[in-house]
Amino acid sequence: MLLCGGCAWTVYPPAITPGEAVTAIYAADYGWHSSLLLPTGDGKFVEYVYGDWGYAAEGRTAPWDAMGALTASRQATLGRRFVELDRARPEIDNAGTKAKLVEITVPKSDVDRLLKEMDDRYKQGTDSKLNPENHQLYVKINDSYSWTNSCNTMTARNLRLMGCRVEGNPVLSNFNVVKPQSDRPQVVNGG
């Protein structure tokens, strides 16, 4: 993993068909962890996060806990929280760490499909636990968490499900979003 320290992955938003219903989502980079903020239709956003139960839900975050979660996790977890964002100045934090947020426009139908999938997956979880530090309500899920199947790989997977092209290896949360501006692409650094 140390060799990937300077590596970034790149997100290319989907081409939008004229007349297609679209919506804005946010990709969040907390510096070590990434997630997506998806609009719920009531002016709020839902953030689903993926992690190791001990590290994320129980808040055991010492360096050895992090290494154990990445290499020998015994239990995966899916967390969820609902947040309000000021779209003029969107900000969010996780246990005191502010995320860098990058807005991405995607087809609304793909967002709706992903919201249903994540909600169904969350409802199948067991043994819920609220982490008061990050305000996420976590459930245990049947999955294998590791450095190759982490919050960052889930973020990349979910972006692909909404039509984005993702290049590079999302081992870390260091991502760039290429946003077209007029006729020339602009790179927006998320990490």
| Per-residue pLDDT tens over the stretch 10-49 | 999 998 888 889 999 999 998 888 999 999 988 899 999 9
For the entire predicted model, the pTM comes to 0.85
For residue 181, pLDDT over 60 is answered with no
- Cα 102 to Cα 81: distance, rounded to the nearest angstrom: 19
Q: What is the dihedral of CA 67, 72, 76, 79, to 10 degrees?
A: 0
* pLDDT reported for residue 95: 66
Structure confidence at residue 3 as a pLDDT band (50, 70, 90):
very low
Task: Please give the tally of structural domains in the chain.
Answer: 1
Whether 47 contacts 28, CB under 8 Å: yes
3-state secondary structure of 55: helix
For residue 57, pLDDT over 60 is answered with yes
Would you report the helix, strand and coil content of the chain in percent, each value rounded to 5? 25, 40, 35
Structure confidence at residue 183 as a pLDDT band (50, 70, 90):
very low
- Residue numbers of the domain that contains 99: 2-189
